[in-house]
Every structure is written in C-alpha cells, then in structure tokens.
Structure 1
Amino acid sequence: MEPAVRLTGITKKFGSAEANRNVSLSIMQGTIHAIVGENGAGKSTLAKLIYGMYRPDGGTIEINGKAVAFASPGDAIAAGIGMVHQHFMLVPTLTVTENVILGLEKKRLFSQLALKKSGDIIQQLSRKYDFAVDPDALVSALSVGEEQRVEIIKVLYRNAGILILDEPTAVLTPQETDTLFTVLRSLCRAGKTILIITHKLDEVLAVADTVSVMRQGEVTGTLPCRKTTKEELAVMMVGRSVLLRVENPAPSPGKTMLSVENLDYRTDDGRYKLQKLNFSIRAGEIFGIAGVEGNGQSELLSLLWGLNRKSGAISGKILLEGTDITGKTPAAISALGVSLVPEDRLKHAVITAYSVTENMLFGRHRETLFHNRSGFNRKTVNDFARKLRETYDVRCRDLDNQPLAYLSGGNQQKVVVARELERPGLKLLILAQPTRGVDIGAIEMIHRSIIGARDKGAAILLISSELDELIALSTRIGCIYKGSIRRIFTETELSEGREKEHSFEQEIGLNIT
C-alpha cells in the first residue's frame, strides 16, 4: 500500500511563531487517518497546507508519489483533494444542486445551467455511497447533518480521491455522527483516502485506522487505532494524565432561580418552535437539556437572552427570582446577573478582528471595576485579561495586539467561556455547547469551572449535543422534542445512570428522537 499523502519536514511559520515544526507523516491510500491534538497544536494548519490554503516555509508534500507545490486550493482540487471545513461553506438560499456546482458553472453565453444533469449526478453519488441527499432541497431547510452530507457531495462531485474533514462531528448529534461514520467507511471501501482533524478520541478509535498525535506543532507519534487507548492518546496530546470524566460532588440546590412557564414561541410565518415549555432551575444545580438540534433549543436561548423579543409571537413567562424577564433587552438581562455562552460564538459572542483582550471585555465593559474617571482603567483591564489567559490556558502570543481571528477555534471558545464564567454576582449561567471544538485537556478544565460556578450558588442551564457531557455534569436532564420537554431525568436517575454509561445514553436518546 502506497501513501496517498506524504509530508516530509513540513514547517510553517506565522511571524515568529511556528505552527508546524518539521512534520513528517504518511497517510496510506484507502484508509481513514485521524490527527488529534490540543487546540493550537497545528492540526488545522497542517490540513490547510495539504489543501493549498497555505504554502509551507520548509519541507515537501507528495500526493500519490508526486511532489507538489500548490499555490491555491484550486490546485489541490485539480490534484484530487477536497476539504470539508468545520464551518460549512453553503449558501442557504440556494438548492443542494446549486451549492454543489457553485464555482463550476461552465456554460456558453445565454445558455442555461445543466441543473437537471448535475442533480442526476448528485443522486448517483448519494446512492453509490449510501447517504440520502435531495438535489432540489433548499439548504436552509436542511439539518446540520444533511448540510455536512452536501459538503461531502461537493467534494465527491469534483472527483476527489483524498478527503480532508476538519472537526467533522463538532455540530452533529450522536445519531448524525453514526450516519457520518457509515458514510466514511463506505467512501473508504470505494478507495477514497480520508484525513480527519479532530479532538474527540472516542470517535477516532471508533472510525479511524491510524491516528497521529500533534503537540506544539510537532507529531509526537503515529499509532494503529486497534493498538492504542483513549487514555494513552490523551497523555500524548496533553503531556499528563487527564480525567476523562471530572469528579462531580453531590450538589446542594437552593431556591428556584429560573422558572420557564408555559412558554410558546411562534415565528412570523406561523411555525411553532416552542410549545408549552415548562422547567425550573434552582440555585446550585445544573439543568441539562438534551435533544436533536432544531427542536427549539436555539429559540429558547434567544428568548432567555432577549434576542427574539420583537419578532414572532411569544406567550408564557420567563421568571428570574420571580421577576418576569420576558421581552427585556440582553443588557438588562445581563445586569440582573445572567451570563450566556452562545451556541455560535462567531455570530453572538466575539468580533474576530478585535484583540484577545477586547473580546475578553465584551459584554462586561460597563462594569465599574474596569473604569476610572478618564475611561477604562488599563491596568485593571490588562490584569483581568492576563488572569483569564492563565486560568483558562488561552494560547495566544499577545493579548493586546493579536486579533482573535489568529487563535484556533478552541482557544476562541476558551475566551468566551472564561469571560462569562468569571462574571461577578452570577445568578444564572446559560451554556450552549460550551466545549464545542475544545480539546480534551481544556474540556476537563471547563467542566471543573462549571461545577465550581454551581458550587458557588449559580443556577446553570446546560444545552449540549454531547450526551456524555450532560450526564457527567447535570443534576437533572430534560429531553426536548418539538419545542416541549418530553421527560425529565431526576437526580437519582442520573446518579444511577452514570454507573450504566452507554446504556443510559441510549435511554436518553430514545426520548429525544
């Protein structure tokens, strides 16, 4: 078996920082090869070098035995390489077919696009690799899992033999992840070579043939998946033993902090997203919400944070310590002691062109702690930023001068989590996918911080697509389906369920589908 991709001595620098240092790696044809590592370890940079988005400063890249020097992704595509990015690159208002052929519209002047022919090819690819995609569907009507299948179809439509997937399961439910793995195995059997960039070790061991571990820009080892364990990989990634499930002492809940009573939300076009939603959260407990994305979680978050107060039809109440906050602005809700880590940090939590320090201050800039008579107290702001960087291990070169865009996705997430968990006078902490895109060492740290906030008396709402995260942290779990809580697992049931592990995950899964 020959390597489909061979890297020899690859080095990539950004200024004085080395993202990749002397990386040598072989990815064999017809296999699934995973690359794992901490946030900022250089995984995504390496993938972008193979795909032609960056050019190496040293070393050589060989594709199917031939040395290449790609000047752009177009060169990589021509060489049979395709990449599915962590953040999908689809146009919601176009159909599946229109998205797939975008950039390939070869036609004569005044002639129509061959949409029917392209749609037929998409259907053939779907049948060949055993996953359903409707060529005529609008992308805006698709689930996240379906969108990812469209991204894979785009790559296959361009005749790629080598597929690079960057954090492919970051936004998928467990069921969608299983479907994706079935697709990847089918592609592999058909002779495709697949490179997965990820941090989820369970999934690596479930689907990959080989795994390479990166740390601080270097490859520290390459192993057959059948001959390694999650614990061994974690040590290679982080350099120390990692608690795969943090200690979670029994909580001591106090008074009811948040009450959601008969909450309905109907969009302007008449679709119900929430229907008679009821739950409550006490101070000092974590209430988890489990569900397949698209069952009202996003709408609930928007209403809790005051983002949908002027659109759609809202009825019912959201009470914070007995005070109705339904319809209040985000600033007013924040001033009452509420903090939010949103599900999409790029849309609702950060401005990537601004510095790391500025992003650490967003939403907290009104706090008197950071001000003096002439404006911001720069010493206080700088001390605050340094403390968050150290406590949450935010990997960056320069707090004040480095734009957030230059940080890895996981380190951007750490900035948001650090900012919101360290808010003083915290009464209600709303967490949506708090560890999305974060490596295993940082997950341990974030989980400890969440439990610490709970133990200080905060009421915590945790929305996550990671069932093991919900089970590990939650005091109670509510299963949401079509905008309503179908069942609530009690503290006693959760305590017993942690002993059953996977069988308990299946029990929760039955209540969210």
Structure 2
Amino acid sequence: MEYVIEMNGIRKEFPGIVANDNITLQVKQGEIHALLGENGAGKSTLMNVLFGLYQPEKGEIKVRGEKVNVTDPNVANRLGIGMVHQHFMLVQKFTVTENIILGSEPKKGMSIDIRKAAQDVAEISDRYGLRVDPNSKIEDISVGMQQRAEILKTLYRGANILIFDEPTAALTPQEIKELIQIMRNLINEGKSIILITHKLKEILEVADRCTVIRRGKGIGTVDVSESDQTSLAEMMVGREISFEVEKGPPKPGEAILSVKGLTVEDVRGIDMVDQLDLEVRSGEILGIAGVDGNGQTELVEALTGLREAKSGTVTLSGEDISGKKPRKVTEAGVSHIPSDRHKHGLVLEFTIGENMMLQTYYQKPYTRNGILDYGKMYKKAEELMEEYDVRTPSSMTLARSLSGGNQQKAIIAREVDRSPKLIIAAQPTRGLDVGAIEFIHKKLVEERDKGRGVLLVSLEMDEVLNVSDRIAVIYEGKIVDIVDAKETNENELGLLMAGGKREAGETST
C-alpha cells in the first residue's frame, strides 16, 4: 500500500535522552491518524522531525511514496505538510489575515495586496466551516479562534497533510466539538490529519487509526473501531489504568478555610466574585464546578494573594489572611497548584531543581547567613523527583524542556511536600495524560486522608464528580448550591452551572 506519509526507523536524540527510538509511522490518504502517548513520550518530537524543525539521527521519510529530506518547515510546506502547534505561532498585534500571509505575502506592484489576501482567507474559512473574521486582531479573539487562524495559515499555504499538536488542550468543551467538526470537514475535502493527543475519548470519537508511543518507542498501530479506552490506556502507559478514583469516605473535621462575603474585581473593574461564602474542612476535597468565566480565576487569585479582594474576609484555621501577599499566604499554610503552570507555576528559564525549591530556598537548611546551599537544595529536589516520578535527564535540566506532565508533577511535589493545611488545586490535570491524571488524583486523596483541606477548581465535570467529596457550584461569582458528590450527577450539576435550581425536596449538604 502507498501511504501519504511514511516515517521509517526514526531516531532522534537530545543530550542525555533518546526522544524517538526507531519509530515507524504510516498514514493513509484521507484518514485521521492519532499519535497517542504519555506526556514526554516523544510524540511532538516525531512530528517536529516530519515538519523539518528537527533533523533525525537515523531513519527515512516518504511523502506519497517519494523519499524526501525535510530540512526545514519551508520544505514541509512545499510538500503539502502543515503543522498547527500546541503553542500558537501568532503575532498578537496583527490581524488574522496579516498572520496568515506572513512570509508569503501576495503583492500588487510593490505593495502587499491585503484586500486580495483577506478575500482568499475568507473563502478558505467558509469552505472548511472555520468562521473566522479575517480582519480581527489576534489579541481580540478567543483561544479557539486563534487556533482556527493557525489552521487557516496551513491551508492558505496549500497543506494537504495537517499535523494537530494537542489541539484541544486549551479549548472549552464547545470549542472541542466545533474543532472535531472542522477536522471532519477537512477529511471530506481530501485532506489527511495526524492528531497528536493523549485524550482517549477524542481518539475514539474522531480517529480512524492510532499509533501508540511509549517512552520514545513505537508500541503499535491499531484500528480505533476495534479499540476502547482501557486497551488504548494500557498500550500508552504499559499497565492497567483505573478510570475510577479510589478513595474511602471522607472524615471531615474543623473548617480550615472560611470565606465570608468575598467580592473580587477583574482587570476591568467588574465584580467577578460577588459576596461569596465558602468553607473547606480538614479531611475533605471540596470541588468547585462552574462554566469557565464565572469567577473561578479571580477566586483562586484572591485566596492565594495574587489579587486583592474588594471586600470580604478569608481565614485559615482561624487566622485572618485577607489581603496578605502570596509569600505570607504560603507561609500561613496554603499550597497553590496554579491553572497556568507556565505563567504562575514555574520559572521556565530556571532548572527543574531550582523550581522545586522556590517555596523553601530561603529557609534553613537551604540558606545559611543569606547564602544558598545548592548542594542541599539539589539533593532535596532529586529526592522529590524520585518520589513524584518527575522524568528528566537531570535536576539541572531547564524547566521549559520538560513535558507538561513532568512540569505538573514537579509543581505538585513542591506544593504538597511542605505539609500545608490547605491545597488549592486549580485545573491540576489540564493537558495531562491518563497516567499522570491517575497519579495526581491519588496524591490529592492521600493529602485529604492526612487531614488536609483540598479545594479543587476544575472545568472537567468528570474530575469534579470523581475526586470531590462535596461540590460547590459557582455561577456569576456566587456559590449557588453545595451538593454531595455521591448524590449528584452530570445533569444536575449542568443545570446548576447554568444558573438553574435543583428539584424541590432535594437537600444540599
């Protein structure tokens, strides 16, 4: 059979690590071919080889049966290969059209024919159901629309083979549905798609075949119609995965966190948290469920000292921590697993060892007379890396070089190791694979069972239902109801999240 893409025996090395070890990938014309693996398995590296961003040490690439040498992305574009990167390559101040034509601008005499370009972009957008305004500025449109601009960029350059790198990582559930439809439209127009992902539900919904990579090695290729979540997860991780969170009943004690009348403004001066009351007890996981944009971000930032509240009080085990700076909040006994690990969780240009000590480096035994003891710091970091299975060549590796899952494990190791009274976990498993998700959920339950309070803020309905003991539903900045996780379901939560009320006669916890 002639494949539209063949990658045979690809080997790609980086200092101290073999990212791709003799991997073979064969993609048929007109299929959605999923590339599945844990965070750091080597999926993106393999596709960066195909797109010409990396050069392999060994192996060959064929496009439509012809052996090719993809030395850079321009060569890939000429071969009809386009890549939609996980972190978008867009200029925020430019319009959609300006971004799309950048580097291949149509000319009218000596000047750029922006009107013709905008017409072409609009035609491509309509043809594939992308619905993007070619004249919008990137900084003014949603993440989902920015992604569509990236897709348009590849189509404008004539791509017939599209690589999607973790395309749903930052999208809302509605945007994910729309993206899946766009992918189907592309296939109906004769395109072929390689989908890099670790989300099993999406693979089962949209992919035709799936190639699995584990720790840099190819495990096999399967027909998705003959697979299920369990078999794919086992291929990906190399062991059986439990999709249920194993936990006994909670043993709640005294209130650790008490929030009264909290009002928090956003950058526009709008009250996003409105007279909110909330209580988290020791020995319980309280989940916050809500549609994105109902005050979750502002609530977490106010609780952790990242944003000043307009009014209200926050107490931790009876101590008033309202308005305190982040370090004082941390020292009072609050740990924060932030929703954006790059912006608030890590210093990407620091080593992973340094990042794991950010909360304690200034304390004994890591500092003496104002001088850092790097030996003790790195020894402690390496102990944590082993305990939390942070996979990296060395504690001296820069944080930005680690996969998302390993970055997240490092943050959790740092935050949990300090034995806090309260753990605030915001989107703790965003963009992670099933193995890492299982690990993180287990850690949160372990901390609950040690008597800590855990506040879980997540947009994933499954996560909130499976991990929480009680669930507080936030709507327009207020807690509208609190329910027992065992006695509710997706439908009831969905109704509450949309501002509805439960049936009469039902009691909240």
Match of 2:247 in 1: 248
Distance 1:268 1:437 in 2: 26
Query: 1: CA distance between counterparts of 2:276 and 2:106?
Result: 51
User: Does the alignment pair 1:355 with 2:351?
Assistant: yes
User: Per-residue displacement from partner, 1:268-316 (whole Å, max 9, x unpaired)?
Assistant: 544343333332222222222233333332222222222233xxx7233
The answer to whether the Cα contact below 8 Å between 1:43 and 1:214 also exists between their aligned partners in 2 is yes
Q: How far 1:189 sits from its partner (Å)?
A: 1.4
Deviation at 1:209, TM superposition (A): 0.6
Q: Does residue 444 of the first structure (1) align with residue 452 of the second (2)? A: no
d(CA) in 2 for partners of 1:326 and 1:94? 41
Q: CA offset at residue 106 of structure 1?
A: 4.3
CA distance in 1, matches of 2:363, 2:449: 24
Other structure's SS at 1:262 match: strand
Match of 2:456 in 1: 462
> Which residue does 2:78 correspond to in 1?
78
**Secondary structure of 1:278's partner?**
strand
Distance apart, 1:50 and its partner CA: 0.9
**For residue 444 of structure 2, what is the amino acid of its counterpart?**
I
Residue 505 of structure 1 pairs with residue 498 of structure 2:
no
| Residue 473 of structure 1 pairs with residue 467 of structure 2 | yes
Shift of 1:243: 1.2
Partners of 1:121 and 1:451 lie apart in 2 by: 53
In structure 2, the partner of 1:182 is 181
Distance 2:109 2:277 in 1: 58
* TM superposition shift of 1:260: 2.9
Q: How far apart are 1:110 and its partner, in Å?
A: 7.1
| Equivalent AA in structure 2 for residue 52 of structure 1 | G
CA distance in 2, matches of 1:139, 1:292: 24
Q: Which amino acid aligns with 1:231?
A: T
| Contact 2:31–2:187 (8 Å) recurs in 1 | yes
Q: Displacement of 1:336 after TM fit?
A: 0.5
Unpaired segments ≥5 residues, structure 2: 499-509
Superposed displacement of residue 341, structure 1:
1.2
1:397 equivalent to 2:393? Answer yes
- Superposition map of 1:351-430 within 5 A: 351-372=347-368, 375-378=371-374, 380-399=376-395, 401-424=396-419, 426-430=420-424
Deviation, 1:419, is: 1.0
Shift of 1:372: 4.3
- Counterparts in 2 of 1:91 and 1:261: CA distance versus 1, 3 Å: farther
Amino acid at match of 1:430: I
Structure 2 equivalent of residue 119 of structure 1: 118
Distance 1:319 1:119 in 2: 55
SS in 2 for 1:413: helix
| Shift of residue 470, structure 1, vs aligned partner | 1.3
In 1, Cα distance between the equivalents of 2:141 and 2:474? 19
Mean Cα deviation higher: 371-380 or 53-62:
371-380
Which position in structure 2 is the counterpart of 1:488?
Answer: 481
Hey, what does 2:225 align to over in structure 1?
226
In structure 1, runs of 5+ residues without a counterpart are 498-503
- What pairs up with 1:8-407 in 2 under 5 angstroms? 8-107=8-107, 111=111, 113-309=112-308, 314-372=310-368, 375-378=371-374, 380-399=376-395, 401-407=396-402
Alpha-carbon spacing, 1:150–1:271, altered in 2? closer, same or farther (3 Å): farther
- Residue 154 of structure 1: how far off its partner (Å): 2.2
Structure 1 window deviating more from structure 2 (321-330 vs 186-195): it is: 321-330
Q: CA deviation at 1:74?
A: 2.2
Letter in 1 for 2:294: N
Aligned residue identity for 2:451: G
Helix, strand or coil for the counterpart of 1:289?
A: strand
Cα displacement (A) at 1:408: 1.6
Shift of 1:489: 4.4
Taking structure 1 as reference, are residues 505 and 169 closer, same or farther at Cα in structure 2, changes over 3 Å only? farther
Task: Find the residue that maps to 2:336 and give its secondary structure.
Answer: strand
Considering only aligned residues, what root-mean-square deviation do their CA atoms show, in Å? 2.3
State the distance in 1 between where 2:268 and 2:110 align. 37
Q: Deviations over 1:169-209 (max 9, x none)?
A: 11222222222111111211111111111111122111111
Going from structure 1 to structure 2, the CA distance change for 1:268 and 1:359 (only over 3 Å counts) comes to closer
Is the Cα–Cα contact under 8 Å of residues 37 and 213 in structure 1 kept in the other structure? yes
Pair 11,316 (structure 1): closer, same or farther in 2 beyond 3 Å: same
Deviation at 1:215, TM superposition (A): 1.1
Amino acid at match of 1:394: V
8 Å CA contact 2:106–2:117 kept in 1: the answer is no
The answer to whether the 8 Å contact 2:354/2:377 transfers is: no
Q: Secondary structure at the match of 1:490?
A: strand
1:100-135 alpha-carbon deviations (Å, 9 max, x no partner): 333333446873x44443333333333222233233
Could you tell me which amino acid in structure 2 is paired with residue 509 of structure 1?
G
Q: Distance in 2 between matches of 1:505 and 1:371?
A: 49
Identity among equivalent pairs (%): 45
Q: Measure the CA separation in 2 of the matches of 1:109 and 1:367.
A: 66
TM-score, scaled to structure 2? 0.91
Letter in 1 for 2:152: I
Distance 2:171 2:155 in 1: 21
1:122 to 1:290, Cα distance in 2 relative to 1, 3 A: farther
Q: Deviation per CA, 1:2-56, whole angstroms, max 9, x where unpaired?
A: 4221001111111342111111110111111111112221111101111111011
Shift of 1:471: 1.1
Instruction: Deviation per CA, 1:428-481: give whole Å up to 9, x if none.
Output: 211112122322222111111011111112221212222211111012223334
